[in-house]
Structure 1
């Protein structure tokens, strides 16, 4: 094993305690949330489950651009905005044309700005949702709503990935079914990948782009560790069988077992030095912070390939209230090649037959100016794109007005997005419920409509 691979393994196995299960246990006890519900009683709660109806997709990779991409500078060319630069906007403010050149790509003629030349090559593969809207212009609430369906962080709800695990289980019993890489440390924090009142084994497992998953190491041999674990688990099961047992015990038992298995598989799986050099070069992998997002993209493909049900990767820094021009150049350069390479890689490996990619932000940005060089938040009309299993390639659903302010057709609320994603995974959002505190909860709360028009 070369030096880079050894360092990757050391990063993964770095620990401050005896090890097994402490990752999931820390997540379980660290949310500071009331009332984890007891699991449904299955001896293997993460075992694969049959969907409600035939699924079009089996896995999701969510590429989250935290902070809100300015769509009128990247994905949406608005001729009227360009013509009316400096004039008053319909809702007030001064219309500000994009400083970046736009061009049409592919047979679909999709518009992309000069900031995203690599992603633009996938123009005919993408399925655009251009009429999205959400409820709140505040980042923390909007990020939490995108991830959990509810903008009320005080009433914590399970994350989208947790609902998928609850509904479908996971294909690989030696790995977490839900992994989030470099999740936002703020804007809701662990709530965005938590399980809330669902059993704890459905929550996401957090890692970073250096292959660090804390507390997997043990100072003893595997055989002795297995004996130690068997003893601990026998005590845990005795406790779980008592009427006064806390709800968390079953989750702890499950997490110990999973973490024991992960010690062997996870370090090798996320040792991206095993990838051919040409693959790493295609993603733009480099050392240090500049290569962080590219490493995430390679890891996402490897995790998905290994059977992880839901993988999220994150690139922060899109909140351009100022420094819009240079800021967009920097951010787009950091994601254009890696995202395009991820899409190409998935396509070449045939993984898009069962994998769905979702790309987007918590909301968009206004076509009017904020300060000298910025744009404010826009929750009334913004785009995301899908690619892969179950959706129409080269298709656009919805759109905004001539300036890009409001969704005027094909309007989709966050609840509609969630309902549609669940449907693509074979789940009826109205039937995927969990009873807690005397009522049935679901990801889409009491709203949400499936947009079948985008489905292949």
Structure 2
């Protein structure tokens, strides 16, 4: 297929006639119903902008989602995967019967031994309405919402280095260039707010050592999908979005005239060459103009009640902090943004883990719990999915020098912990079991692809049916070769 044909496939005849049919069908149905019924339906249903006519495939449990991504890989051993018997193994070599020759990074492959480093942190068992959840002393606020969480202790992935591992979770593939989760949701489900992007990203500041793993905009990019579906990065300094303010000497009326002229020129270009990316540019110009009003209102916390701000912690009013990002995420959910993704870096703790993880946990503990509580108090948690976690876990053995109160951990993709809440998730459960060393999974494994398939399912999407043809393949978020499953045990 030549490039022109490939572009033209972006808006298929089936999609075009589907949109027309749904519109005509709606008008026909409305003409047959009593006015009272029509008005009731109109008052309950929100308009949708964009999206595929056949989506959602079934009634969704969640209408929107917040993805709290802990970049750098938080240590499951020090946060969620309690191993009380590790103390007796201190500084002894990890048995080969446990390691079984599993892949190592270049940072520890040259070590002569693999000394076990038990966590120095105390754990508390929280009543979660089930068997109880063991959570580290570092996360007391998270423990307070244990009844709302599905804690998954047996997540695993293939990638052992940060960039491919983060790329895998965010786009479904270790290689760059694929659409992100948010881009797939924007493409498939569209938006219910024409004044804000359907997919917004924030990079929070962090308290750990600087020099954390870089995050690239391809992690929230649109890949081969139309570019209008890429995530919009909300900045903490200057304009929240680049070029949001009018240039000096240009008023709102002049700016609108400039954008209208650009739209006319782009429309002529589209009629000439038929490039769907031209349509994307038109919609982005129009969105940019509407965001001049909607974004400042979104980021203004002056009307938030003081007791709500206090719930998120002392840093909530400081732009760019994780607390500030979390309350903004809640405000975006109120405004029907489809997906908000918050990245928090600094979790790559190869050395001095006890000191650094304290700071990291302090950053995210209270705001994460406040976000769940806030959504629940507002009656929004049932329709809002919240997901928390990193790209892989950390090893039970120490990287480098070990002392009783100081250690570092290497990358470990074979088992790590994530949690989900709200939006169709069964709260108060702990799913899966790892071995005594938190090194191997012994019960109920959950792959990175399974996580993405489950997220799509909760939003009303069959992951096998949300596809996009590119370079001769029907691509999907969960891959075209390896199988993914919906983790039904997590569903309410």
For normalisation by structure 1, the TM-score amounts to 0.87
Residues 195, 290 of structure 2: 8 Å contact kept: yes
Contact 1:180/1:313 (8 A) holds in 2: yes
Residue 175 (structure 1) aligned with residue 196 (structure 2): yes
CA separation of 1:48 and 1:432: change in aligned 2, threshold 3 A: closer
| Correspondence for 2:246 | 218
Change (3 A) 1:39 1:215: farther
**1:62 aligns to what?**
67
Is the partner of 1:131 in helix, strand or coil? Answer: strand
- Root mean square deviation of aligned Cα: 2.2
| Post-superposition CA distance 1:104-123 (Å, at most 9, x none) | 01143210111111111111
Match of 1:149 in 2: 172
Evaluate the alpha carbon distance shift between residue 209 and residue 218 of structure 1 in structure 2; reply closer, same or farther with a 3 A threshold.
closer
Deviations 1:278-331 (A, max 9, x none): 222221143897971111111111111111000011211111000101001111
Query: Match for residue 35 of structure 2?
Result: none
For the pair 1:159 / 2:180, whether they are aligned, the reply is yes
- Contact kept, 8 Å, 2:51 with 2:188, in 1: the verdict is no
Residue 411 of structure 2 aligns with which residue?
377
1:5 — aligned with what? Answer: none
Cα gap change, 1:264 to 1:426, in 2 (>3 Å): same
Match for 1:137 among 145, 152, 160?
Answer: 160
Say whether 1:451 aligns with 2:455.
Answer: no
Alignment of 1:49-448 (within 5 A): 50-89=55-94, 90-91=98-99, 93-106=114-127, 107-108=129-130, 109-153=132-176, 156-182=177-203, 187=214, 189-210=216-237, 212-219=240-247, 220-243=250-273, 246-286=275-315, 292-372=321-401, 373-446=407-480, 447-448=483-484
Contact 1:130–1:399 at 8 Å: present in 2 too? yes
Number of residue pairs the alignment of both structures matches: 419
Report deviation, 1:225.
2.7
How far apart, in 2, do the equivalents of 1:292 and 1:48 lie?
35
Q: Residue 200 of structure 1 contacts residue 251 of structure 1 at CA under 8 Å; is this kept in 2?
A: yes
Over 3 Å counting, the alpha-carbon distance change for 1:450 and 1:128 in structure 2 is: same
* Residues in 1 aligned to 2:90 and 2:383: alpha-carbon distance in whole angstroms: 44
CA deviation string 1:393-433 (max 9, x = no partner): 11122221111012222111111111111111110111000
Distance 1:79 1:186, change over 3 A: closer
Distance 1:168 1:290 in 2: 30
Q: Which is further off, 429-438 or 206-215? A: 206-215
Classify the secondary structure of the residue corresponding to 1:137.
coil
Kept in 1: contact 2:51–2:190 (CA 8 A): yes
Counterpart of 2:34 in structure 1 is none
C-alpha contact (below 8 Å) 2:121/2:137 kept by paired residues: yes
Aligned to 1:12: none
- Where 2:61 maps in the other structure, the secondary structure is coil
Change in 2 beyond 3 A, CA 1:183/1:48: farther
Counterpart residue number, 2:50: 46
Gaps of at least 5 residues in structure 2 are 1-5, 20-47, 100-112, 206-211, 402-406
CA pair 239-183 structure 1, distance change in 2 beyond 3 A? farther
Comparing 309-318 and 183-192, the one that deviates more: 183-192
Structure 1 residues 290 and 432: CA distance shift in structure 2, 3 A? closer
> Max radius of gyration: which structure?
2
Distance 2:316 2:415 in 1: 37
> Which deviates more, 375-384 or 44-53?
44-53
> Is the 2:71–2:213 contact (alpha carbons within 8 Å) kept by the matching residues of 1?
no
Contact 1:36–1:199 under 8 Å retained in 2: no
